[in-house]
Amino acid sequence: MRTLVFDTPAEASQKAFELVRESLENGSTTFGLATGSTPEKLYELIVASDLDFSQASSINLDEYYGLTKQDSQSYAYFMKKHLISHKPFKNVYIPDGEAQDIDAELARYDKIIEENPIDLQILGIGNNGHIGFNEPPADFNGRTQFIDLDQSTIEANARLFDSIDEVPTKALTMGIKSIMDSKKIILMAFGEEKARAVQKLIEGPVDPMVPASVLQNHPDVVVLLDKASAQFLA
Ligand code: GLP
């Protein structure tokens, strides 16, 4: 893994944007995308740019289960608001958080990923080391999963809801194996609340209890940090 530490999240996001531009210019057609506060600035930079994704596909990592696509907390809504409605993609894939037949939905999403190999995957990281919504202990061989959210994730994400009772308790997520199949990965983490997870990601053993640590086994990962999230690194 290559780790780059910047003074501010804005500078790290600028670097992420340059890597996305490079990837697009080098012929990438499929982009794995993340939600959360972390990539918001990157999406702002993409929206403000002249980059053309009209021939590209986006495949999102995850979606809450039980929210409608119109719900302002759904990741479908997030992607529309922050990126897709401003920067058109040819195809936009997001797990269906309203699916009735879960097994069919998991199979549908696996097929999408199989048919559209991900050239560049954008990742954030949870305070507990999750990537996507792959909570510890993570199945390193897993494909798309229907999971129970960790209490710590529910608490961390409650800041975005009116009350913690409104945070969904289940989600659909791309599996670790599919994330690891991406050709290139950019992981961003900002703020002191991510510092312990970042330390374990980079310096800890590869351990299912820290799902992101599996990235140590990937040949092309760039980790973009700000000073606060990098504070415990040796
Ligand atoms: C969320 C998402 C992840 C995201 C992470 C961090 O729950 N499922 O994809 O990377 O947790 O979120 P944030 O960027 O808001 O800190």
- Is the minimum distance from the CB of 134 to ligand 1 under 6 angstroms? no
Nearest CA to ligand 1 atom 11: 126
pLDDT value of residue 32: 98
Q: Could you tell me the mean pLDDT of each successive run of 10 residues in the chain, 234 residues long?
A: 98 98 98 98 98 98 97 98 98 98 98 98 98 98 98 95 97 98 98 98 98 98 98 97
Active site residue 157: no
Active site residue 62: yes
Establish whether residue 62 lines the binding site of ligand 1, counting it when its CB lies within 6 angstroms of any ligand atom: yes
Residue 11 is a catalytic residue: no
Q: What is the pLDDT of residue 153?
A: 95
Confidence (pLDDT) at 150: 96
Q: Which residues, 6+ apart, have CB-to-CB distance to 120 below 8 Å?
A: 19, 20, 23, 28, 30, 31, 32, 182, 183, 184, 185, 186
The β-bridge relationship of strands 30-33 and 221-226 is: unpaired
- Look at ligand 1, atom 1, and give the residue with the nearest C-alpha: 36
194-207 residue pLDDT tens: 999 999 999 999 99
Residue 31, pLDDT score:
98
Catalytic residue among 128, 134, 157, 226: 128
Percentage of the chain modeled with pLDDT above 70:
100
Question: Is any ligand 1 atom within 6 A of the Cβ of residue 124?
Answer: yes
Strand ranges inside the chain, DSSP E: 2-6, 30-33, 57-60, 62-64, 91-93, 120-123, 145-148, 170-173, 184-189, 221-226
In this predicted structure, what is the pLDDT of residue 44? 98
Cis peptide before 137 (omega within 30 of 0): yes
Which residue in 62, 63, 96, 105 is the catalytic one?
62
CATH architecture of 13-218: 3-Layer(aba) Sandwich (3.40)
Q: What is the pLDDT of residues 120-150, one digit of tens each?
A: 999 999 999 999 999 999 999 999 999 999 9
Mean pLDDT for the chain overall = 98
Helix, strand, coil percentages, rounded to 5, for the chain: 35, 20, 45
Is 128 touching ligand 1 by the criterion CB < 6 Å?
Answer: no
